[in-house]
Structure 1
Amino acid sequence: MGAAVDLLVEELIEARTSRGLTQEEWARAIRFSPTHVSSVETRHRPPTADYVAAIDKAFNTGGTYTRLLVKLSGFDTAPIWLQDWIEIERQAVLLRWFEPAYVPGLLQTEAYARATLAGGRFTAEEIDQHVTSRLARQAILTRERPPHFIAVIDEAVLRRPVPDQPGLMREQVEQIAALAELEHVQVQVVPASTGLYLGLTGQFILADLPDVSRFGHADNQLKAQRVDHPVDLASLARTWEVVRNHALPLRQSLELIKEVAKSWS
């Protein structure tokens, strides 16, 4: 873990000990296992968004630790361009995210996030740091005033297996289905029957901020970049309309997501 996340763990340990609670009592209060609590406190497991949200709920902190996680996570390992985008993401009132290949980061489970980073490119410690950063970003969806989040994903994203990890995709697709039922989250699926379409050229995100400014984020094999030139933003907005027009309506999309979840063993 990085120094910033380590600071959060220290705060969580202080929160527990100041209340005179053992790890077992703390675990019961937040409805996590004692083993999970121990792993977090010994730095063998990162404190995820779900974990700190459970602490905030159990002890009525008003979201204190969720906010701290969002502020601290990701900056130890994230390059400058990603730090910039994380800040834009936090401020956004509307996020529109298209993904032709992967589950959008804000919807990923911990296991899926780890699987996307496997393959030898990163060390085990680097994977832990990247996963911590990615999951911390998800806290914006459960905060008091979350952004309106709209995701369009290709059906192949739901059906692509993760080798040698049975159950991973079922858990992941079930999580997408659960999040898609939140009032401020919409997930639409471009069905396989669509065939080739413009969006397959690559992933992108559009973020609208409270001051009506807009930024984009585009990814490829070599690099990711922030997009702020009006011409480029207009191009991404047009592509967004194309991919969303190809997608199934919300109810049909959710039905398909649930159907695919059942197909995974």
Structure 2
Amino acid sequence: MPQRRTVTSRSQEPRQRFAEEVKSLREKSGVSLRQLADQLGWDWSTLGKLERGQTLGSPEVAQALDQHYGTQGFLLTLWELAVADPTQFKEQYRRYMLLEAEAVSLWQYSVSAPPGLLQTAGYARESLAAGGLLGDELEQQVEARTGRRKLLEGEDASPFRVVLSEAVLRTSLKDGQAWREQLEHLGEASDRQNITLHVLAFSAGPHGLMSTDTMFLRLSNGSTVAYVENDVHGELIEETGRVERLHRTYDAVRDLALSPTESRKFILRMLEEVPCESST
């Protein structure tokens, strides 16, 4: 039997592969980073970070490079795979992220922040920075978090039901414009066919999930798993009995929440309370 040959020496890790391809294409073209930056109108330091794998940049950068090199969407495809790669997340979340990627339906209760699947880049950046992330690590995690939104996009997107505590809508960002954009995004999401959004008003009183963010994933094999998280601990729950008990608690909380129509109105009222940016 002939010895199996290695097809390519390039990395099989999506983020590193994207960096390698970007660098290889530039080197083959015979130009420096600064020359490429001048040709594209992008900052050369950003392109350098792309080649070193320190950042993925934006989809616009990948599209610009595809057009420049005539690679017909190849780099954008690599960029999308890199953004969605669960290995970008910290180790404790990796199994959960792998399961989330294959879920056929999802539902969640959020205590004080919008679910990651519905966060804008501005919200993700400020909240992650508040947790101590800086520089390249911060940008990497922002890209990873916002990349998860693809699970809810497209014709075959998985259905997602989310219950937001009123605290989510009352805990604004320091950046007023970023907070406005986050509320607008929630309002838009509430109008999408595959997303059902409820607001649990403070007036609903005490309930069984008061301090616990809870996400359920129904997998393609018909099983359901849950992930619960508070400020200091996260746990993936796969044991059927525990998941079922937690699910009943979630259903009781959902029954206390506003209807989707009333919830959308609630979000829009909150949006009206956010000051508009000054035009001067």
1:215 paired to 2:215: no
Of 66, 90, 108, the residue aligned with 1:78 is: 90
TM-score (norm 2): 0.74
**Which one of the candidate residues 149, 153, 174 is aligned to 1:142?**
153
Which residue of 115, 130, 135 corresponds with 2:126? 115
Task: State the 1:14 CA deviation.
Answer: 8.3
**Could you tell me whether the CA contact under 8 Å between 1:49 and 1:139 is conserved in 2?**
no
1:202 aligns with 2:212: yes
**2:194 equivalent to 1:181:** no
Superposition map of 1:156-175 within 5 A: 156-163=167-174, 165-175=175-185
Matches of 2:149 and 2:99, distance apart in 1: 14
Quote the offset at 1:136 in angstroms: 1.6
Residue 90 of structure 1 aligns to a residue whose secondary structure is: helix
Report the residue type matching 2:94 in the other structure.
Q
Instruction: Name the CA shift for 1:190/1:168 in 2 (closer, same or farther; >3 Å).
Output: same
Q: Which has the larger radius of gyration?
A: 2
- 2: distance between equivalents of 1:85 and 1:54? 33
Deviations 1:174-195 (A, max 9, x none): 0111122111111110112223
Q: Secondary structure of 1:146's partner?
A: coil
Structure 1 residues 226 and 161: alpha-carbon distance in aligned structure 2, compared to 1, 3 A threshold: same
**Structure 2 portions without partners, runs of 5+:** 1-12, 29-35, 67-71, 276-280
Q: 1:242 to 1:36 in 2, by over 3 A?
A: farther
Q: 1:67 to 1:168 in 2, by over 3 A?
A: closer
Tell me the distance in 2 between the aligned counterparts of 1:7 and 1:173: 35
Aligned 8 A contact 2:14 2:78 in 1 = no
Alignment match of 2:201 (pick from 174, 186, 191): 191
Which of residues 139, 155, 164 is equivalent to 1:153?
164
> Within 5 A, what are the aligned runs for 1:1-265?
4-8=14-18, 39=46, 42-43=49-50, 46-47=56-57, 64=77, 68-69=81-82, 71=84, 73-79=85-91, 81-119=92-130, 121-163=132-174, 165-265=175-275
Mapped to 2, the partners of 1:143 and 1:51 lie a distance apart of 22
Q: Report the secondary structure of 2:90's partner residue.
A: coil
Contact kept? 1:49, 1:136, Cα under 8 Å = no
Q: Given that residues 97 and 150 in structure 1 are in contact (C-alpha distance below 8 angstroms), is that contact kept between their aligned partners in structure 2?
A: yes
Match of 1:186, SS state, is strand
Shift of 1:46: 3.8
**How many angstroms apart in 2 are the aligned matches of 1:129 and 1:241?**
35
- CA gap 1:48/1:185 in 2 versus in 1, 3 angstroms: farther
**5+ unaligned residues in a row in structure 1: which ranges?**
27-33
Deviation at 1:258, TM superposition (A): 1.5
Q: In structure 2, what is the Cα distance between the partners aligned to 1:231 and 1:50?
A: 46
* Greater RCO structure (CA 8 Å; 6+ sep): 1
Tell me which amino acid in the other structure corresponds to 2:267. I
Deviation at 1:6, TM superposition (A): 4.7
- The residue identity in structure 1 corresponding to 2:112 is A
Confirm or deny: 8 A CA contact 1:215 1:227 kept in the other structure: yes
* Cα 1:120–1:99 shift into 2, 3 Å: closer
C-alpha displacement of 1:119 = 3.3
